Structure 1
Amino acid sequence: MRATFSVPAVLLSVLSAVNGQTFTSCNPTQKSCPADPALGGQFTTDFTTGASSDWTLADGTTMSYNSNGANFVIKQATDAPTISSAKYIFFGKISAEIKSAPGTGIISSFILQSDDLDEIDWEWIGGTDSSVQTNFFGKGNTTTYDRSTVNSVTTPEEEWHTYTLDWTSSTIKWYIDNILIRTVNYGDANALNGKNYPQTPMRVKIGSWVGCASQAAASNPKTSGTCSWAGGPADFSKAPFDMLVKSVTVEDYGCASEYVYGDMSGSYQSIKSVGTCGGTTT
């Protein structure tokens, strides 16, 4: 889900927080951009032991760690704690043990996102505690939101569940606790026969944000849709709202030290793998 907020007045700070999770510093379908550092292998982070150099923190993000793992804490409307993998994967598999954040209007997310805004999502709406949503986007295309699905899961705010994305050039598969719950194929109609299929090098992003900050946002025609999706305004008298992530495993199906966009098409065939797995760019 990509939230859309109006720019005026008090909503500006909320817009900045949300854009931190969907922002690209350089879009390779629009101009020449630096190469993406490739993972070219696999790593597992156990957040119960603390922070890891495999992850970077978004501006304004402060993390804490304990026996539950990484704590993504929201206390006010402008909070949007987010971490991103330091390196990219070019097709691959990611899994995380997660407890989503409680609280109406609070969104938890575990996604893959590329520089040209291809995206594959897991998202949880706080306060429902019975479901998780899946979604995908190609090149930032938000003309429709009919690609989303809502899937049952037992008390995701209270119980640990393992959420997995398995992404190849032909299929995307979503798993909950190793049970397949959705498959999207490259040639499917809702992927626009490949045009809207995520297919460029991506980073893992994990975080939480405020989908509906106030009754004013719920009443504003420019933000009412997002507020409705988020379940209504957040009640910050009940804060803090914590999303917990115990561990994450990331596997790159590619083998390179860098991924380079060969042109501005944004097609997977145009991506060049440079160097060797964990090696140098000779």
Structure 2
Amino acid sequence: MFTRRWRTAAATAVALLSGVSYAQTWSACNPLHSKSATCPANTALGMTVNVDFTKGEVNSFVASGGVPTYGRDGASFTVAKGGDAPQLASVFYIMFGRVEVTMKAAPGKGIVSSLVLLSDTLDEIDLEWLGSDSNTVQTNYFSKGAASGYNRAEFNPAANNQAEWITYTVDWTADRIIWYVGKTVVRTLRYNDANGQYPQTPMQVKFGAWAGGDPSNSPGTIEWAQGPTDYSQGPFSMHVRSAVVTDYSTGKSYTYEGNSGTWQSIRSDGGKINGNLGGAASITVTASAAGAANTASPTIPVGGIGKGSGTSGGAGSQTVGAGSIPDGWRMTPDGKIKPVGSSTMSTYKRRKKFNKYTRTHIHSLSLSFSPLFQNFGLFCYTNTKIYFFQ
């Protein structure tokens, strides 16, 4: 995970254009520190999507820090050398909701698999798996990027998580967060128990793998990740078969009103906050886990996926940023952004419509989150092109 924000957009440009990635999270426009009107609205999911990664990539999730591969195991996030930190991030946000990811964690000493919900204000909800421990998942949360009070992390049971397909769920409302392993509740956090540190702003969904045990990382991070990482024993892969994401709110986008960072300050454009609460089927709980271990370690990272590698080609930098779905386009239930009526539009016409807006051909998908491209609302990509829309 990333712990610090870059101070200038210039540093971002240098890193991106030189091919060097740094292990830090920052917000392209943090509504807590900017006039809310100057920050772009967050694209709302406003529905449920069920993405089957065994069928390949979808353009509602964008890669950075390395490119996942796709096959019968779904999306594979492989760490083979220092600096590898492949991940996918949603182009949409949810304002309260549920995220269900079916996956196998990556093995390997110092290797970390991560599932992160992250907002522009750096509110955060995490699940992380350490490659040295195939029977545990770490759950954590942060508010506004504050890393004080490290006892918020827990290590919860998740048996045989590197060999078996397990569905992990985060169910997040204004009142509580519930973490599930399969159909077992492993942790519940209530708003009143969070001591003012409750995540409550629109979140992107991110998941991927990285080397917390990379020798270039701080000693504390290496210790937390149970490293150091020996790349000669790799490669190490996390596999994600599917992701089901439900937005408990509705509308086209979410906008911050003021700088409070409370959920009551979030406005939905064309919808309602909590307008879809109860729109998702309930999870049948079969058990509640006991015996979670708290940790007071100050080395637990905050802020995203890919913390700690400051080497050339290091872990991919994380930018929290907004996109939009332009008029005439729609999100499908399987997580694809398509033109309205695309089922009847010819391939040639779709290509012509795309090319009208083509801005550049680039190799690194991480550029799509750069401040250099803040004026572009939506990026759709194929294996060879990224299409930008204003």
- Code of the aligned partner of 1:140: G
Structure 1 residue 38 and structure 2 residue 39: aligned? no
| Residue-pair matches, total | 259
Distance 1:36 1:52 in 2: 19
The Cα RMSD (Å) is: 2.0
**Shift of residue 18, structure 1, vs aligned partner:** 3.2
**Alignment partner of 1:162 out of 158, 162, 167:** 167
- Code of the aligned partner of 2:206: K
- Code of the aligned partner of 2:60: D
SS in structure 2 at match of 1:143: coil
| Aligned ranges 1:96-245 → 2 under 5 Å | 96-188=101-193, 191-192=194-195, 195-214=196-215, 217=217, 223-245=218-240
Query: Which stretch of structure 1 is more off in the superposition, 22-31 or 229-238?
Result: 22-31
Deviations 1:175-232 (A, max 9, x none): 01111111001110xx21xx21000000100011111212x64xxxxx1111111002
Gaps of 5+ in 2: 5-14, 273-324, 328-390
Aligned to 1:220: none
Aligned to 2:280: none
**Shift of residue 144, structure 1, vs aligned partner:** 2.6
Aligned to 1:55: 61
**Alignment partner of 2:30 out of 24, 27, 30:** 27
Kept after mapping to 1: 8 A contact 2:94/2:203: yes
Distance 2:78 2:63 in 1: 13
Deviations 1:152-195 (A, max 9, x none): 1111111111000000001000001111111001110xx21xx2
Structure 1 residue 271 and structure 2 residue 266: aligned? yes
Higher percent of residues as strand: 1
Deviations 1:108-160 (A, max 9, x none): 00111100100000000112111110000000011232100001111111111
**Alignment partner of 2:246 out of 234, 251, 262:** 251
Gaps of 5+ in 1: 5-11, 218-222
- TM-score normalized by structure 2? 0.63
**Shift of residue 23, structure 1, vs aligned partner:** 3.3
Kept after mapping to 2: 8 A contact 1:105/1:233: yes
**Shift of residue 41, structure 1, vs aligned partner:** 0.4
- Code of the aligned partner of 1:229: W
SS in structure 1 at match of 2:152: coil
Could you say if the C-alpha distance between residues 125 and 261 of structure 1 is closer, same or farther in structure 2, counting changes exceeding 3 Å? Answer: same
SS in structure 2 at match of 1:237: helix
Deviations 1:228-253 (A, max 9, x none): 11002100001211000000000000
**Shift of residue 17, structure 1, vs aligned partner:** 4.5
Distance 1:37 1:72 in 2: 26
Distance 2:30 2:109 in 1: 33
Distance 2:149 2:21 in 1: 23
- Code of the aligned partner of 1:253: Y
**Shift of residue 16, structure 1, vs aligned partner:** 3.9
Distance 1:100 1:24 in 2: 27
Kept after mapping to 1: 8 A contact 2:51/2:242: yes
Kept after mapping to 1: 8 A contact 2:95/2:203: yes
- Code of the aligned partner of 2:253: E
Kept after mapping to 2: 8 A contact 1:46/1:246: yes
Kept after mapping to 1: 8 A contact 2:214/2:229: yes
Could you say if the C-alpha distance between residues 125 and 3 of structure 1 is closer, same or farther in structure 2, counting changes exceeding 3 Å? Answer: farther
Instruction: Report the structure number with the largest CA radius of gyration.
Output: 2
Query: Which stretch of structure 1 is more off in the superposition, 67-76 or 24-33?
Result: 24-33
Give the share of equivalent positions with the same residue, in percent.
43
Distance 2:245 2:200 in 1: 17
Kept after mapping to 2: 8 A contact 1:17/1:209: no
SS in structure 2 at match of 1:273: strand
Distance 2:45 2:262 in 1: 20
SS in structure 2 at match of 1:146: helix
**Shift of residue 3, structure 1, vs aligned partner:** 5.3
Where in structure 1 do 4 or more consecutive aligned residues deviate above 2 Å?
1-4, 15-19, 276-280
